[in-house]
Chains A and B, each alone.
Chain A
Amino acid sequence: MPLVRDGKAVADGWTTVADDAALPADAPVIVSFARWRAERAVLEQRNAPLGLGLKNTDAVEEVGPEIHRFGLVALNFPKFSDGRAYSQARLLRERYGFKGDLRATGQVLPDQLIHMLRAGFDSFDTADARVLQQWSKSVAAYHAFYQPIGRLRPTLDNLRREEARPAAAD
């Protein structure tokens, strides 16, 4: 699948493997949560990066403490209007400290990019050319956000405090 990251089309080095398909030798693969639970011993023996694909109903709590074992986690938007993966993304990033590639799959549209980036996603598995076309506009739309949470951009509160500081020192 075409992949977008940092506003560019990039090659996808990962292969998503169906639950009943054989694992390719020594290639980075993305497996489902169910397969990871069932075949964990085998998967951990492999000599290649391992990715985890979660359904948006999978409980991130169950895998959170071990999330550092994965080089990539793919979260799914079955429809762009189903926002469950935003919660999963923030939990993985902020609660469980996931540092690897957080990928959005499913219906990824240009007008939700900014929410996804803020929630912690960094790569986007989408064939929709508009995502690339709109990228810079979407990402630059706001100079700051209100919430002191998620990623990207300072918060409005931070900006205010920075501006207030020299004045307060006078």
Chain B
Amino acid sequence: MYAYDRHDRMFVHARVEQFRDQAARRLKGELSEDEFKPLRLQNGLYLQLHAYMLRVAIPYGTLDARQMRQLALIARRHDRGFGHFTTRQNIQFNWIKLEEAADALHLLAEVDMHAIQTSGNCIRNVTADAWAGVAPDEIEDPRIWSEIIRQWSTNHPEFSFLPRKFKIAVTGSPADRAAVKVHDIGLRMHRNAAGETGFEVIVGGGLGRTPIIGTTLKDWLPKRDLLSYLEATLRVYNRYGRRDNIYKARIKILVHELGPEKMRDEVEVEFQTIRDGALALPAETIAEIAAHFAPPRYAKQPGFAPAHETLRRTSPGYRRWVETNVVPHREPGYAIVHFSLKPEGGVPGDATAEQMEAVADLAEKHSLGEIRVTHTQNLVLPHVAVEDLPAVWRAAEAVGFATPNLDLVTDIIACPGLDYCSLANARSIPVAQRITRRFADLGRVHEIGPLSIKISGCINACGHHHIGAIGILGVDKQGEEFYQITLGGNAGPEARLGDLLGPAVSADRVVDTVEAVVEAYLAIRAPGEDFLATYARLGLAPFKERAYAPR
């Protein structure tokens, strides 16, 4: 993990004190709301329906036990005892007071965390593959590059007032677990013909009102040039991105309006001009940052894990959990364990202070102190010895994080929706809760197989509904909550946006409709075929027919 030194610490503490002063001036009326709003947003503070919401960055999804405990402390001291993990590797606290926000930020700074640029029209928290450093298929650890980008983008003198927000994601594996094609910039590491690793630079992807899969501007960018190329891209965007219409201000619209060729040329010209300048990354800087992410020292594990093997034979529940929520690790004898934050009837992504502390304890005991946050709103213990799995399973059961549903129909992504969010048209969380109750039978869930449901409460698409195998979007029809359903979306390397199933359905009908779609799939799938494959083969028609059949 990246460890702050004295200077990083001074920096985040300075940021807290700067914000403390700004908030105090706002409270005294020396700053107007218009003047203050961008300042608070760039420190993660939103004003939602019921209170201020603080969005805290978990850079590239990595945190340690001590940091998780501090999040629990903030939840207790400044919130109502819980937090919400989001689709962008952030945690949000829903009940923050402006008067206390700087104190909460100070608690973060004490453990080398911050909320800097988690909102506002600037470069946001950089996200990465939650399995970084432990995935067997990884080419290179994306966190090295995410941290380099975090430092470059923090308090950037030129890019703090962009036309709109700007999101960057990095993956170091061929299997894209960071949804890089639906980010303003997605970076995918791969090797060139000479065997050197570099970046494919994908620009202008995004969801929201105008969902677009990103365009590759550069097939292979050498590592030393990463920041120069990002700076060139951001400069082109800052200068030419539209500012006349908030819905046309993202870089995807600029790419669309200029055309990919012209965009590529503009960026290339700027890049060539600056590439040998101050941002060229010296090998020693890269090596220094990379050293922070060197693999931990794993204890050598015996080839046989008796406790695990025994329990696997005797406990079907354990076996199911291992098969679903545990995936192979790069290091022999270790595994990557997922804690599902999607229990039946629960709020997707929510965790109480007690649960956070339990995860921190488990990380210390069984995962070399490390925790990850996924973009699917789950938590990960990245380094668990196989022999420890039974203990981890029991502990996860005890805190309610052992639902064996990773990537299955009840592993639902949902944004806060109208229960919290001031921009929402409809509620998201209750829909997720009702779906998980409808699919409470685990046997049925496993029979259905991999199927992602993603729910957003408005067109801003924080719940990534466009890239759900089943996407659900809340809309407002004359004051009533309605839901549009899309099918066939996919976030991975074959990223694809879902297709609209048909007319929006009422809140009463939405769960039935989802169930009808799932039943249709079960009826028409070929043996061994998952939902997306069936959808790719047969298209919308058979689903539509069943979903809208009168009952």
Interface residues of A (CB under 8 A from B): 80-84, 86-88, 90, 95, 109, 111-112, 115, 118-119, 130, 137, 141-150, 156-157, 159-160
A83 touching B161 in the complex, CB below 8 Å, given contacts A141-B18, A156-B11: yes
Tell me which residues across on chain A come within 8 A of B279, comparing CB atoms: 148-149
Once bound together, how far apart are the Cα atoms of A119 and B157, in whole Å?
6
B14 engages A143 (CB within 8 Å)? yes
Tell me which residues across on chain A come within 8 A of B272, comparing CB atoms: none
Q: List 25 A-B contacts (CB under 8 A).
A: A80-B161, A83-B159, A83-B161, A84-B238, A84-B239, A84-B243, A86-B159, A87-B235, A90-B158, A111-B39, A112-B161, A115-B157, A119-B158, A141-B18, A143-B10, A144-B7, A145-B157, A146-B155, A147-B152, A148-B278, A148-B279, A149-B277, A150-B158, A159-B7, A160-B5
Tell me which residues across on chain A come within 8 A of B31, comparing CB atoms: 111
B238 engages A86 (CB within 8 Å)? yes
Q: How far is the CB of B221 from chain A (nearest CB, A)?
A: 19
B155 engages A142 (CB within 8 Å)? yes
B239 engages A87 (CB within 8 Å)? yes
Once bound together, how far apart are the Cα atoms of A82 and B48, in whole Å?
24
Once bound together, how far apart are the Cα atoms of A115 and B154, in whole Å?
12
B238 engages A87 (CB within 8 Å)? yes
Once bound together, how far apart are the Cα atoms of A147 and B234, in whole Å?
14
Q: How far is the CB of A62 from chain B (nearest CB, A)?
A: 13
A130 engages B30 (CB within 8 Å)? yes
**B 148-173 to A, binary, CB cutoff 8 A, 1 in contact else 0:** 00011011111111100000000000
Q: Does B422 contact A (CB under 8 A)?
A: no
Q: How far is the CB of A119 from chain B (nearest CB, A)?
A: 5
Identify which of residues 267-326 in chain B touch chain A, using a CB-to-CB cut-off of 8 Å: 273, 277-279, 285
Tell me which residues across on chain B come within 8 A of A112, comparing CB atoms: 160-161
A146 engages B158 (CB within 8 Å)? no
Tell me which residues across on chain A come within 8 A of B158, comparing CB atoms: 83, 86-87, 90, 115, 119, 149-150
B152 is contacted by which of A86, A141, A146 (Cβ under 8 Å)? A146
A149 engages B161 (CB within 8 Å)? no
Q: Which single residue of chain B is at the shortest CB-CB distance from A133? A: B30
Q: How far is the CB of B462 from chain A (nearest CB, A)?
A: 22
Q: Which of A112, A119, A141, A146 has the most CB of B within 10 A?
A: A146
**B 521-545 to A, binary, CB cutoff 8 A, 1 in contact else 0:** 0000000000000000000000000
Q: Does B261 contact A (CB under 8 A)?
A: no
B35 engages A80 (CB within 8 Å)? yes
Tell me which residues across on chain A come within 8 A of B11, comparing CB atoms: 142-146, 156
B38 engages A150 (CB within 8 Å)? no
Tell me which residues across on chain B come within 8 A of A86, comparing CB atoms: 157-161, 238
Q: Does B355 contact A (CB under 8 A)?
A: no
**B 224-261 to A, binary, CB cutoff 8 A, 1 in contact else 0:** 00000001000100110001000000000000000000
Once bound together, how far apart are the Cα atoms of A1 and B83, in whole Å?
49
**Main SS at interface, chain B:** helix
Q: How far is the CB of A106 from chain B (nearest CB, A)?
A: 12
Q: Can you name 20 extra interface pairs (CB under 8 A) apart from A141-B17, A156-B11?
A: A81-B121, A83-B121, A83-B160, A83-B162, A87-B238, A87-B239, A115-B160, A137-B21, A142-B14, A142-B18, A142-B155, A143-B7, A144-B10, A146-B152, A146-B155, A147-B156, A148-B278, A148-B279, A149-B231, A160-B5
A145 touching B239 in the complex, CB below 8 Å, given contacts A80-B35, A111-B39: no
Once bound together, how far apart are the Cα atoms of A109 and B161, in whole Å?
13
B157 engages A149 (CB within 8 Å)? yes
B235 engages A118 (CB within 8 Å)? no
Q: Which single residue of chain B is at the shortest CB-CB distance from A156? A: B7
Q: Which single residue of chain B is at the shortest CB-CB distance from A107? A: B35
Q: Does B8 contact A (CB under 8 A)?
A: yes
B155 engages A83 (CB within 8 Å)? no
Q: How far is the CB of B353 from chain A (nearest CB, A)?
A: 32
Tell me which residues across on chain A come within 8 A of B8, comparing CB atoms: 156
B273 engages A146 (CB within 8 Å)? no
Q: How far is the CB of A96 from chain B (nearest CB, A)?
A: 11
Q: Does B197 contact A (CB under 8 A)?
A: no
Q: Does B352 contact A (CB under 8 A)?
A: no
Once bound together, how far apart are the Cα atoms of A152 and B161, in whole Å?
19
Tell me which residues across on chain B come within 8 A of A143, comparing CB atoms: 7, 10-11, 14
Q: Which single residue of chain A is at the shortest CB-CB distance from B151? A: A146
Q: Which single residue of chain B is at the shortest CB-CB distance from A86? A: B158
Once bound together, how far apart are the Cα atoms of A149 and B39, in whole Å?
22
Tell me which residues across on chain A come within 8 A of B38, comparing CB atoms: 80-81
Once bound together, how far apart are the Cα atoms of A148 and B278, in whole Å?
6
Which 9 residue pairs spanning A and B have beta carbons closest together? A83-B161, A118-B157, A150-B157, A146-B151, A148-B278, A86-B158, A156-B7, A141-B18, A119-B157
Q: Does B484 contact A (CB under 8 A)?
A: no
Q: How far is the CB of A138 from chain B (nearest CB, A)?
A: 8
Once bound together, how far apart are the Cα atoms of A115 and B159, in whole Å?
9
Tell me which residues across on chain A come within 8 A of B231, comparing CB atoms: 149
Q: How far is the CB of A132 from chain B (nearest CB, A)?
A: 14
Once bound together, how far apart are the Cα atoms of A105 and B276, in whole Å?
32
Q: Does B506 contact A (CB under 8 A)?
A: no
Once bound together, how far apart are the Cα atoms of A83 and B17, in whole Å?
24
Once bound together, how far apart are the Cα atoms of A156 and B8, in whole Å?
8
Once bound together, how far apart are the Cα atoms of A63 and B161, in whole Å?
24
